[in-house]
Amino acid sequence: MPKESEMVAFTPEQLSDLEEIKQLKSRYCRATDTCDEALLRQLFTPDVTVEYRGGAYIARCAGVDEMIDFLMNAHHSQMITMHHAHLPDIRFTGADAAEGIWYCEDFHIALDRKEITSGCLIYRDQYVRRDGTWLIARTEYDRVWEAFEPLRPEIAITAHQLARTGRTPDQRRNIDHLLHWKARTAA
């Protein structure tokens, strides 16, 4: 990314593009948290590349089908998830290309494992415009922090979207080939 002194003002067209890219990231978070596969398929290039470097894992995907398979099996009917991406830092690298850095807070409840994961991460994305639409061509993140805790029995869950929209256990596929697990240790 350029230094602040090297930054140039956005053109009116780029301001419009900037808003479209922000909406793209918003749709990604919403589609992930609601398991909206149809919407997710609209957000990525066919050859999207993914690398998520979490505290306990590294996930790598190549292509939109692998990406969708990963997301739909990682966020499923036994999960509750929340992703908030904010503080975008977007730079245009060409008329139809851009890079973005996002700060993201996330929260997961794994009902099957009775575990809560919370944390934050920094996304680095590459965007391209194809046929007039901005798409994610590459996405990656590195964890800033990640913490696990047991789900306490007294917690009452009164709404659970993914119970209705996420893949049920009999619909899920194994995604171990996309994940590399690290030992959980204190930093």
pLDDT tier at 67 (50, 70, 90 boundaries)?
Answer: very high
> What is the three-state SS of the chain?
CCCHHHCCCCCHHHHHHHHHHHHHHHHHHHHHHHCCHHHHHCCEEEEEEEEEECCCEEEEEECHHHHHHHHHHHCCCCEEEEEEEEEEEEEEEECCEEEEEEEEEEEEEECCCCEEEEEEEEEEEEEEEECCEEEEEEEEEEEEEEEEEECCCCCCCCCCHHHHHCCCCCCCCCCHHHEEECCCCCC
For position 187, what pLDDT does the model report? 54
Instruction: Tell me: pLDDT of 26 over 70.
Output: yes
Q: Which residue has the higher pLDDT, 168 or 3?
A: 168
For position 127, what pLDDT does the model report? 98
For position 121, what pLDDT does the model report? 97
Instruction: Tell me: pLDDT of 186 over 90.
Output: no
pLDDT digits (tens, 9 = 90+) for 125-143: 999 999 999 999 999 999 9
Instruction: Tell me: pLDDT of 3 over 80.
Output: no
- What gap in Å lies between CA 83 and CA 162, rounded to an integer? 14
CA distances from 91 to 85, 97, 184 (A): 17, 9, 35
Reference 78, options 179, 178, 160; nearest CA is 160
For position 160, what pLDDT does the model report? 96
For position 6, what pLDDT does the model report? 59
3 phi/psi in degrees, rounded to 5: -70, 160
Instruction: Tell me: pLDDT of 48 over 70.
Output: yes
What is the average pLDDT score of the chain? 93
pLDDT digits (tens, 9 = 90+) for 79-103: 999 999 999 999 999 999 999 999 9
For a pLDDT cut of 90, what percent of the chain falls above it? 87
Instruction: Tell me: pLDDT of 5 over 60.
Output: no
Residue 45 contacts residue 137 (beta carbons within 8 Å): yes
For position 123, what pLDDT does the model report? 98
